């Protein structure tokens, strides 16, 4: 017995001989609701889950009000229901419904409200009726190459729904009804053994029937808004009636063969009804815009065997109107088809690889082309195959994504190959793998300079810096010192063994402040090249190193002093260093504000033995030597002074964490600059929380903003592991000669 006895009478009584009404043969709203009622009558809900069961010969799938995503497929030879996108089937990943590829009788699916997705993949056979109800929500329903032995009924409800049938073969009636919302119905390929009924109700809907064979009547009815209906390259063995419904509708039949009557109808809006291309109509043809300012046209290639009746305000339609509306309908259903296809397609992402100093690149699965790709949303296993080989080498690609690439001799540059990712569902995706090939060898050796390792850079007081190295024999080796990419700051040719040596003059000027980034380039005949770089700080002044302990962790900061610009201030500072006055001192002040940020030290020492803080013994103050060329900007070392007395500098110093240029007006003398990445350490200190610990160390009054670490608790007494301590300060490099 058919599960839809309430519409059996309609199927039996429909008039197949002549079209007299735009709605003849179309299911009513009540009849469509009847379909859904019968699907739902024995449904049991379980929140967050889809239930699948075999009831006799029938397969029944029931969802809840959540967003359910379900695929029906043949897996390991069995018809399987699988959930994806966090949907479970009977509380697990999948449910094996039957052995083999068939549902022996009916398939009934009701997914309930929510944004649901139902996909039926190729190979599935349903022997009897198929009834699909996605409920309210923005739903996507896709059938690909499905074989249905009897009727197919599809019902969607409120929401913007997408229905896509690709190469589906239906043995008897095929009925699809959407509800309110901007819906899209696409039938491409396949056949319908009896009647085809498409009913898009409220909403601006798009319906496309393309290359479908229908062996009885076809009825297509739009809804209450502006609909676009296109029927193209299809065969209808009996009557065909298409109505846009109310709204400003567009109906286009193109390259059709219809054995009996054809009717194209508008309704209360301004409708466009078009018979385009080469059509063969076997009996009467009626084209009626009904009320509204309508336009109709019939192509010269349309043959009509019997009566023609055309009623419209205009019998011509501008070609651009036809093109625009047809393209809009096709675009909408193409989006539906793309959405359906995306469910089964893996995601392939372009890859970038590097080949250095060798002519062969070997990858494994973990870093092959599949490493950044993804399986299809519905799951599956992705494998790859080579589409196009590399243009300047050869690729041996394995199905797990690993590959071996061998570059052609003397090739340097970017080579590419393309591959296709495939899964067992027939989903595919393509991507391009790029390989940057650099077969030029280049190694640098700067040990002959005796430069010291500082924070992220070498440091030297010699203006001439020698770069030795090994590269390709006969290669041209050149240096870019100033970042202009001209590579005109030194050049030589490697000898027959690839050895070379270049002397570069280092700079310390207002642009680089001593920081030289030396980029060395080796170029070979044929265009191959390689670059390596080395950072060197050329210090004209003394370089001092602060060895720090930050909560027990050791670090250091190197500073170049401005011996020439502030000779007396520097000499005073070096005296404190040489006397060991800064050993076991602390950073006793840190200010971190939007317009003023510093860290300050040189005033106090901490004795871890007795836990006491003492003042650093000071020498007589020195006169201010502020130079406008040396502003209080980030990374500079400056003098701490008493009140407004600019000549009061003794032992205390500070490092500017931001540009504190207002201090130039006092002025505070800048007498050093932090080298390399030393400001990373300064920033870390400045980011520590600060505390007022005057009460713990009487009679001190200057300990109001002390940076402390290791989860120091306010009100307690800090110990050695809480302070930022200066273990020692020493001059590590004398001024340049």
Domain at 386, CATH number: 2.60.40.10
Q: Higher confidence at residue 205 or residue 654?
A: 654
Domain end marker among 341, 369, 403: 341
Q: Higher confidence at residue 208 or residue 675?
A: 675
Give the angle 169-170-171 at the CA atoms, nearest 5°.
115
Q: Kindly state whether residues 335 and 368 are assigned to the same domain.
A: no
- State the pLDDT at residue 18: 30
Whether residue 57 lies inside any domain: the answer is: no
Longest dimension (CA), the chain: 120
Give the angle 397-400-404 at the CA atoms, nearest 5°.
30
Q: Kindly state whether residues 402 and 470 are assigned to the same domain.
A: no
Whether residue 48 lies inside any domain: the answer is: no
CB 204 within 8 A of CB 181: no
- State the pLDDT at residue 1: 33
Q: Kindly state whether residues 432 and 447 are assigned to the same domain.
A: no
What is the DSSP secondary structure assignment for residue 224, as one 8-state letter? S
Give pLDDT tens digits for 190-236.
Answer: 999 999 998 887 778 888 999 999 999 999 888 778 888 899 999 99
Q: Is 50 exceeded by the pLDDT of residue 4?
A: no
Q: Kindly state whether residues 521 and 598 are assigned to the same domain.
A: no
Q: Is 90 exceeded by the pLDDT of residue 486?
A: yes
Q: Which residues of 621-634 are buried (b: 16+ CB within 10 A; e: fewer)?
A: bbebbbeeebbbbb
Q: Kindly state whether residues 367 and 399 are assigned to the same domain.
A: yes
- Which residues share a beta bridge with 337? none
Beta-carbon contacts of 610 under 8 Å, excluding residues fewer than 6 positions away, are: none
Q: Is 90 exceeded by the pLDDT of residue 687?
A: yes
Q: Kindly state whether residues 136 and 276 are assigned to the same domain.
A: yes
What is the DSSP secondary structure assignment for residue 663, as one 8-state letter? G
Give the angle 266-270-272 at the CA atoms, nearest 5°.
60
Which run of H or of E encompasses 82?
A: strand 78-83
Q: Kindly state whether residues 395 and 455 are assigned to the same domain.
A: no
Q: Is 60 exceeded by the pLDDT of residue 85?
A: yes
Q: Are strands 428-438 and 169-170 parallel, antiparallel or unpaired?
A: unpaired
Q: Which of 43, 42, 38 is closest to 5 using CA atoms?
A: 38
Whether residue 165 lies inside any domain: the answer is: yes
Instruction: State whether residue 423 is helix, strand or coil.
Output: coil
- State the pLDDT at residue 431: 97
- State the pLDDT at residue 326: 77
Confidence of residue 376 (pLDDT cuts 50, 70, 90): confident
Query: Hey, what are 451's tokens?
Result: 């430069």
- State the pLDDT at residue 5: 40
- State the pLDDT at residue 25: 42
- State the pLDDT at residue 297: 84
CB 294 within 8 A of CB 313: yes
Whether residue 52 lies inside any domain: the answer is: no
Q: Is 70 exceeded by the pLDDT of residue 271?
A: yes
Q: Is 70 exceeded by the pLDDT of residue 616?
A: yes
In the chain, % of residues over pLDDT 70: 91
Question: Taking the CB of residue 508, how many other CB atoms lie within 10 A of it?
Answer: 19
Q: Higher confidence at residue 706 or residue 227?
A: 706
Mean pLDDT of 610-631: 97
Q: Higher confidence at residue 224 or residue 123?
A: 123
Torsion angle in degrees (nearest 10) through CA of 213, 219, 225, 231: 30
Confidence of residue 29 (pLDDT cuts 50, 70, 90): very low
- State the pLDDT at residue 16: 32
- State the pLDDT at residue 328: 74
Q: Kindly state whether residues 200 and 232 are assigned to the same domain.
A: yes
Query: Hey, what are 580's tokens?
Result: 């060991």
Most confident segment among 228-237, 420-429, 646-655: 646-655
- State the pLDDT at residue 179: 82
- State the pLDDT at residue 349: 96
Domain end marker among 423, 438, 453: 438
Whether residue 648 lies inside any domain: the answer is: yes
- State the pLDDT at residue 46: 44
Give pLDDT tens digits for 468-482.
Answer: 999 999 999 999 999
Q: Is 80 exceeded by the pLDDT of residue 17?
A: no
Q: Higher confidence at residue 300 or residue 457?
A: 457
Mean pLDDT of 61-66: 88
pTM of the model: 0.57
The residue range of the domain holding 465 is 442-538
Whether residue 713 lies inside any domain: the answer is: yes
Q: Is 60 exceeded by the pLDDT of residue 612?
A: yes
CB 384 within 8 A of CB 420: yes
Q: Kindly state whether residues 551 and 582 are assigned to the same domain.
A: yes
Whether residue 664 lies inside any domain: the answer is: yes
* Total domains present in the chain: 4
Mean pLDDT of 142-148: 92
CB 193 within 8 A of CB 214: no
Mean pLDDT of 560-572: 98
- State the pLDDT at residue 269: 74
Q: Is 90 exceeded by the pLDDT of residue 6?
A: no
**To the nearest whole number, what is the mean pLDDT of the chain?**
88
Q: Is 70 exceeded by the pLDDT of residue 345?
A: yes
Q: Kindly state whether residues 150 and 163 are assigned to the same domain.
A: yes
Most confident segment among 83-92, 102-111, 307-316, 442-451: 442-451
φ/ψ region of 569 (left if φ > 0, alpha if ψ in -120 to 50, else beta) reads alpha
Give pLDDT tens digits for 510-530.
Answer: 999 999 999 999 998 867 788
- State the pLDDT at residue 20: 35
CA distance 217 to 285: 15
Confidence of residue 3 (pLDDT cuts 50, 70, 90): very low
Mean pLDDT of 491-497: 96
Mean pLDDT of 35-64: 67
Domain end marker among 488, 510, 538: 538
Instruction: State whether residue 575 is helix, strand or coil.
Output: helix
Q: Kindly state whether residues 523 and 398 are assigned to the same domain.
A: no
- State the pLDDT at residue 45: 39
Confidence of residue 610 (pLDDT cuts 50, 70, 90): very high
Q: Higher confidence at residue 448 or residue 3?
A: 448
Confidence of residue 662 (pLDDT cuts 50, 70, 90): very high
Tokens 């047809």 map to which residue? 326
Mean pLDDT of 380-392: 94
Between 103-112, 204-213, 219-228, 656-665, the lowest mean confidence (pLDDT) is in: 219-228
Domain CATH for 687:
2.40.100.10
Cα dihedral 96, 98, 101, 103 sign: negative
What is the DSSP secondary structure assignment for residue 314, as one 8-state letter? B
Q: Kindly state whether residues 588 and 661 are assigned to the same domain.
A: yes
Confidence of residue 643 (pLDDT cuts 50, 70, 90): confident
Whether residue 520 lies inside any domain: the answer is: yes
Q: Higher confidence at residue 337 or residue 436?
A: 436
């Amino acid at each position: 017995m058919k599960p839809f006895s309430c519409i059996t009478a309609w199927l039996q009584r429909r008039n197949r001989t002549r079209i007299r009404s735009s709605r003849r043969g179309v299911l009513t709203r009540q009849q469509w609701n009847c379909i859904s009622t019968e699907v739902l009558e024995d449904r049991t809900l379980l929140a967050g889950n889809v239930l699948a069961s075999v009831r006799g010969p029938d397969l029944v799938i029931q969802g809840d009000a959540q967003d359910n995503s379900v695929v029906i497929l043949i897996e390991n030879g069995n018809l399987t229901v699988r959930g994806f996108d966090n949907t479970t089937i009977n509380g697990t990943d999948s449910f094996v419904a039957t052995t083999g590829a068939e549902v022996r009788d009916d398939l009934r699916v009701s997914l309930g409200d929510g944004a649901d997705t139902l996909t039926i993949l190729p190979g599935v056979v349903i022997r009897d009726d198929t009834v699909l109800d996605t409920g309210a929500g923005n739903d996507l329903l896709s059938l690909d190459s499905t074989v249905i032995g009897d009727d197919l009924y599809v019902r969607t409800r409120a929401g913007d729904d997408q229905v896509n049938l690709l190469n589906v073969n239906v043995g008897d009636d095929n009925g699809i009804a959407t509800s309110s919302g901007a819906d899209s119905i696409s039938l491409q390929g396949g056949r319908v053994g009896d009647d085809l009924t498409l009913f898009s109700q409220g909403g601006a809907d798009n319906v496309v029937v393309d290359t479908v064979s229908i062996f009885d009547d076809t009825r297509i009815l739009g809804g209450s808004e502006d609909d676009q209906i296109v029927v193209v390259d299809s065969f209808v063995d009996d009557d065909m009636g298409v109505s846009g419904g109310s709204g400003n509708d567009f109906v286009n039949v193109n390259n059709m063969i219809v054995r009996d009557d054809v009717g194209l109808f508008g309704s209360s809006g301004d409708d466009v009804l078009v018979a385009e291309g080469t059509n063969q109509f076997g009996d009467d043809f009626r084209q009626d815009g009904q009320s509204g300012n309508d336009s109709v046209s019939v192509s010269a290639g349309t043959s009509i065997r019997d009566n023609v009746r055309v009623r419209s305000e205009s019998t011509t339609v501008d070609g651009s109107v036809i093109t625009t509306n047809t393209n809009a309908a096709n675009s909408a259903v193409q989006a539906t088809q793309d959405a359906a296809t995306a469910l089964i397609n893996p995601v392939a992402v372009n890859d970038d690889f590097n080949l250095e100093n060798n002519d062969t690149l070997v990858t494994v699965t973990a870093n092959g082309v599949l490493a950044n790709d993804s399986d299809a949303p519905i799951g599956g296993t992705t494998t790859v195959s080579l589409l196009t080989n590399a243009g300047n080498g050869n690729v041996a690609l394995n199905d797990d994504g690993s590959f071996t690439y061998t570059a052609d001799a003397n090739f340097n540059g970017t080579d590419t190959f393309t591959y296709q990712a495939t899964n067992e569902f027939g989903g595919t995706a393509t991507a391009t793998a790029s390989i940057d090939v650099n077969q030029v060898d280049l190694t640098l050796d700067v040990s002959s300079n005796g430069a010291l390792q500082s924070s992220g850079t070498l440091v030297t007081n010699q203006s001439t810096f020698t770069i030795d190295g090994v590269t390709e024999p006969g290669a041209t080796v050149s240096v870019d010192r100033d970042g202009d990419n001209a590579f005109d700051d030194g050049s030589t040719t490697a000898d027959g063994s690839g050895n070379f040596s270049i002397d570069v003059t280092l700079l310390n000027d207002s642009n680089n402040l001593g920081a030289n980034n030396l980029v060395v380039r080796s170029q070979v005949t044929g265009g191959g090249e390689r670059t390596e770089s080395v950072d060197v700080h050329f210090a004209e002044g003394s370089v001092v190193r602060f060895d720090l302990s930050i909560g027990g962790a050791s670090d250091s900061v190197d500073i170049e002093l401005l011996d020439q610009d502030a000779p007396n201030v520097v000499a005073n500072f070096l005296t404190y260093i040489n006397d060991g006055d800064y050993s076991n001192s602390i950073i006793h002040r840190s200010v971190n504000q939007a317009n003023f940020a510093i860290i300050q030290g040189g005033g106090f020492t901490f004795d871890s033995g007795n836990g006491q803080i003492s003042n650093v013994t000071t020498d007589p103050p020195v006169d201010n030597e502020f130079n406008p060329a040396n502003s209080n900007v980030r990374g500079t070392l400056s003098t701490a002074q008493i009140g407004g007395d600019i000549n009061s500098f003794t032992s205390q110093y500070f490092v500017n964490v931001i540009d504190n240029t207002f201090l130039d007006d006092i002025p505070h003398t800048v007498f050093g600059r932090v080298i390399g990445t030393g400001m990373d350490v300064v920033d870390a200190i400045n980011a520590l929380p600060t505390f007022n610990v005057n009460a713990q160390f009487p009679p001190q009054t200057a300990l109001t903003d002390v940076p402390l670490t290791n989860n120091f608790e306010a009100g307690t007494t800090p110990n050695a592991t809480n302070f930022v301590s200066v273990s020692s300060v020493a001059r590590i490099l004398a001024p340049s000669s």
